[in-house]
Amino acid sequence: SPVAMGSGAFTLVLALALVAYVTPEERKLSGLWRNELDSLMEISAVRDNGDFQGKYLTRVTLAGGCARASPLRGAQQQPGEGGWPTFAFTVRWDKFSNATTAFAGQCFVDTGGKETLTTMWLLREAVGSLEEDWKATRVGRNVFTRKRIRKGKILPSLSPSCEDTSSPAP
Ligand code: BTN
């Protein structure tokens, strides 16, 4: 009947509105990203409160040696009306380094839908004494764009040589 059809259409519109309202902000940061150094990061889970985590695989290291995919944890600000969200995250370099990096940035989307994350970072390396503290922190900028390929086992598979040499055989 027309009444049933009407309520069906209403439910559909309601569902679409709900999806449109709920998903975009959660999706903005999740996924695979690459910066101008060719480093990769995969943000796997963005929670309702903005907390997120993932893995970071740097293409460069202070010592010049191999890197390993390292855990990242961060928080995304709830964006205001029409605004792009700011965020910050830390990477605790796992096993291959004692250093820690903090990134802070913002997500932008251009009219063509291309997403860009602009960030500034502080890289803190461990030094042996208070006298060396002055030289322990580097600062820089990284710009990330979304890398559109399957997520999941991408990070490990893109660094086979380093992952192979640094992790013990099972
Ligand atoms: C280390 O070498 O001790 C840790 C790795 C540091 C990698 C830095 S973090 C900032 C910059 N952006 C990257 O993608 N890699 C470098």
3 state SS of 147: coil
Gap from CA of 21 to ligand 1 centroid (Å): 36
Output the pLDDT for position 153: 58
Question: Model confidence over 101-131: pLDDT tens digits?
Answer: 999 999 999 999 999 999 999 999 999 999 9
Q: Are 111 and 91 in contact (CB under 8 A)?
A: no
CA of 85 to the centre of ligand 1 (A): 24
Residue nearest to atom 13 of ligand 1 (CA): 58
Q: What pLDDT does 133 receive? A: 98
CB neighbour list of residue 94: distance below 8 Å, 6 or more residues apart: 68, 69, 70, 71
- Segments of the chain with pLDDT less than 50: 22-26, 160-161, 164-167
> 148: number of CA atoms within 13 Å, CB side?
3
| Phi/psi-derived region of residue 101, left when phi > 0, alpha when psi is between -120 and 50, beta in every other case | beta
DSSP 8-state class, residue 136:
S
Q: What is the pTM of this model?
A: 0.79
The DSSP H or E segment spanning 117 is: strand 115-124
